[in-house]
Chains A and B, each alone.
Chain A
């Protein structure tokens, strides 16, 4: 029996390694080969010209500097705020804790492009609504805020990373043994001394891990740098690569690959650092006994001011951008709410967007990619997760590290790798090409939640079904599948939402005929058609919201797969 199974499994592991390897390592190999090739039509003709051109580019030092400031700024901003939110929600008596549970779901609903678009219409220096409003009140000659700045970019990207940092720090706060602090007080230490010598040092690895993850994400980020940075002429590495392949008369994929490789290498190093730090921080989790009820820190007078701060953050993150988009979608151009503005409201933007064959095609493509792409990705992830959890062999360990490694790959760079690959195949410029690239790039996000779903099903549950007379398939059907179903549905919905809001891979690979929503939104924003951006954006948010609501209806917990 055992021998028969392992004989069955062996080719499965081999096939999976081939498929996953092709999808994750494949584009990286193509990226490396491409960077040494003369051109996209001349793959393999060796040259180092691309490296020379890429690294002698006079704008590169400034771009690198911007990237460093941008990533460190975002990571600091989001780690500090995320840490504060996690502390407040886990350790204190702050009111309405239920609100914090909404936080992780937020980024699934509001795509980064739209978040940026909403804040641009509020804070752009010439006619941002908030700027106009403040100018009128304080009689200023110009608006006080300029979103087209490094500060503006850091603010937006930092806010967008906030749910992730919150999610990563929270478990560390939960598992923090409060008697460690009590032992310090009893030893004679004050609150402040305890914070400095005990609490913060113990949480340090968790904070550093979070910081590293935020760096990885902002390094790979494309939506904010392209929406805000390009008009503001503040270039970071991702937008630099994008400019190389999209601006001018001859896109140079070789040069893009040569630059992209350093981003990729940096991301891989960072993700290993992240893994090390997470392991380090879990070492600090001390196993407590029966445990006394954990002491809840009473905030006292600070309770409501801090709660107000959380509400404010929530408004910045969700309410203000959403309200702005809805409002803008009815207006011909941005104006401060007034009687005149209301009188000018119409459905014209909606009509225009829905009458435009290109946006309609983009809508159809995005839905197709979400539904078919998520299904394929989850199917593949199921097999991979099964092999990782249930088949303990060198092959499965290799699969695990493959899926972990590609977790760090920035979409924009991997998109360039896929470009080099797809051009060699008939898939190039077809929707199937995009599909392959989506599945390959975001496979880890499907594998990780499914892996934990498999791990939660104790082997003994299956074994006891066998002992009580069920056959292998019967046990699978009666025990494993019902227990696994919520995890699978949840992973499918997460992946589908992710594909709907996908931008960085699409920005590289989308061609006339294979338009997708996010890229069209970006183009409309470039043309300054904010009303249409808003209308199309709301349709897009509607799609994700329907999926999240379905998940709610099915009572599937949406664990974010970061």
Chain B
């Protein structure tokens, strides 16, 4: 309850000279307590606007926002708490480290405002700087630190006053690729260790998958799907989500029948294959199935053919370090498969591939990407 953020029917429209944009279109969302929820979506989907509305940095047009037990914004009740009274912490994309203050000054600031005794401020700042591994940097000017260190100052500042919930606005997007990866892991372990409620905004799907307990995917001001990273990546039924998260091969298919309640036999360019599917499709229905490139394997040559095996021709091959990315032509379709790098392959080779029925999913008809 403590760090639960609940958003009801939130709407926000931006009006500029050129156009009117519905940044949030009747969004309703309740975040889990002491967990990390990520708002993920392409730029312009409304994720940052939603975060800023929760922080109080932006005013919605209508709806209601509560943090913990307290309503912080409500059109109908005429409530609008300013950001400083919402009891939150925030890490900004630019870090927003105050350039005229030292590391200590930056981190102590939220406590100074709360009139915490000096002795206690020093103890708590020291503790939190230990946690983010910045001990000894107290008296440095914060802007003289490296990007990763500044990022940790911003995190320490957001954590120090023990807010009900921490908001992250694309906090890793200014770091270089390598640093981003390690910081991601650090951040994940901090947050889970401290069992803190966090809302995390990003457009980077890998970041979202690795850091979150739950992901809400946004598009055009609407939350289109919500679930655990595994749910979202492996078991989504929304073509937009499938396409946005990772890479996918989409294939047209026709339902032939059911093997059991959750698995249908469909006919497609790969031949007749078994895939997981909604349980109520009539035979003859046209559906779209999708597969992830990394779920294909080269079939062992000796054994007899397994379920979901098919033969194709390598039409293009990229060596991407940890794997081959092969374009394979099969039954008039082209699919992308990510194959283990130690298997020798070259253009024009015939190759037998296999895919597990669980990693091959039929989308309910009618859902347009």
Interface, chain A (partner B; CB < 8 A): 177, 179-180, 182-191, 193, 197-198, 201-202, 204, 283-284, 286-292, 295
Contact with A187, one of B93, B109, B167 (Cβ below 8 angstroms): B109
Interface residue from B55, B57, B97, B114 paired with A286 (Cβ < 8 Å): B97
- 4 nearest CB pairs, A to B: A183-B96, A187-B110, A179-B96, A185-B83
- A544 CB, min distance to chain B CBs, angstroms: 35
In the assembly, what is the distance between CA of A182 and CA of B52, in Å?
10
A residues near B161, Cβ cutoff 8 Å = 187-188
Query: Contact at B57–A295, with CB atoms within 8 Å?
Result: yes
A/B interface sample: 28 pairs, CB < 8 A: A179-B92, A179-B96, A180-B99, A182-B55, A182-B90, A182-B96, A183-B90, A183-B157, A185-B82, A185-B84, A186-B83, A186-B89, A186-B90, A187-B110, A187-B113, A188-B84, A190-B84, A198-B98, A202-B98, A283-B99, A283-B143, A284-B100, A286-B94, A286-B97, A286-B143, A288-B94, A289-B94, A292-B93
The answer to the question of B170 belonging to the interface, with a C-beta cut-off of 8 Å to chain A, is yes
Name the distance in Å between A208's Cβ and chain B's nearest Cβ.
13
Q: Judging by beta carbons under 8 Å apart, are A291 and B94 in contact?
A: yes
Are the C-beta atoms of B109 and A182 separated by less than 8 Å?
A: no
Inter-chain contacts of A201 with B (CB < 8 A): 100
Rounded to whole Å, the gap between the CB of A418 and the closest CB of chain B is: 44
Most chain A CB atoms below 10 A, which of B55, B92, B96, B99: B96
| Sample of 8 further A-B pairs with CB below 8 A, known A179-B93, A187-B113, A189-B113 | A179-B96, A183-B154, A183-B157, A185-B84, A186-B57, A190-B82, A191-B82, A289-B174
> Nearest chain A CB to B95's CB is how many angstroms away?
8
Q: Nearest chain A CB to B203's CB is how many angstroms away? A: 10
- What string of 1s and 0s marks CB contacts (under 8 Å) between B28-49 and chain A? 0000000000000000000010
| Minimum CB distance partner of A198 in chain B | B98
Cβ-defined contact, B99 with A202, below 8 A: yes
Cβ-based interface call for B88 (8 A): yes
Nearest CB in chain A: distance from B303 CB, A = 52
- Report chain B residues within 8 Å CB of A283: 99, 143
Q: Which of A180, A201, A202 has the most CB of B within 10 A?
A: A180
- Is the Cβ of B92 less than 8 Å from the Cβ of A183? yes
Which residue of B is nearest A179, CB measured?
B96
A180 to B154, CA, bound (A): 11
The digit string for B45-62, where 1 denotes a CB below 8 A from any CB of A, is 000100010011100000
Rounded to whole angstroms, the CA-CA distance of A183 and B208 in the bound complex is 23
Q: Total interface residues on B, using CB and 8 Å?
A: 35
Q: In the complex the two chains form, what is the Cα distance from A177 to B96 in whole Å?
A: 8
Complex CA distance for A109 and B61, rounded to whole angstroms: 47
| B56 nearest in chain A by CB position | A185
CB distance from A216 to the nearest CB of B (A): 25
Cα-based distance from A198 to B98 in the complex (angstroms): 7
Taken together as a complex, chains A and B put the C-alpha atoms of A187 and B113 apart, in Å, by 8
A177's partner among B48, B84, B90, B94 (CB-CB below 8 A) is: B94
Residues of chain B in range 53-108 having any CB-CB distance to chain A below 8 Å: 55-57, 82-90, 92-100
B173 at the binding interface (Cβ < 8 Å): yes
* A197 contact set on B, CB distance < 8 A: 109
A184 to B157, CA, bound (A): 10
The chain B residue sitting closest to A183, CB to CB, is B96
Interfacial chain A residues near B99, Cβ < 8 Å: 180, 202, 283-284, 286
Contacts of B89 in A (CB 8 A): 186-187
Bound together, the chains give a CA A187 to CA B161 distance in angstroms of 8
Given contacts A288-B94, A289-B174, A295-B57, contact A184 B109 (CB under 8 A): yes
CB distance from A101 to the nearest CB of B (A): 18
Determine how close the nearest CB of chain B comes to the CB of A539; give it in whole angstroms: 42
Query: Which residues of A are found within 8 Å of B143, using beta-carbon distances?
Result: 283-284, 286
Contacts of B100 in A (CB 8 A): 201-202, 204, 284
Q: Choose one: B92, B94, B113; the contact of A193 (CB below 8 Å).
A: B113
Residues in B with CB closer than 8 Å to A295 are 57
What separation, in Å, do the CA atoms of A112 and B57 have in the docked complex?
45
